Amino acid sequence: MVSPVRRARPRSREERLNRILLIGGSGLAIGAVLVALLARRFDAGSLISNLVAIAVGLLMGKGIGRFIFRRDLPTANK
């Protein structure tokens, strides 16, 4: 007997925004670490400042995204 396929539940706009920020931020953080490690001279201060700048940018992106997507679409009455 074949089990029924579970449908993915629809994600809210905030969940999609969080996923985009998570993927983008992790990519930026990995890139910053790689650039710091591949530099001729490793500078921990530069790496820390880059990671802090990425974190601040992600928080700003979260705030801007909440501002843009604050309006919910009306739901249909059932």
Give tens-digit pLDDT for 2-41. 777 777 778 787 788 788 888 888 888 888 888 888 888 9
Residues 25/54, Cβ–Cβ less than 8 Å: yes
pLDDT given for residue 37 in this prediction: 86
Q: Is 76 helix (H, G, I), strand (E, B) or coil?
A: coil
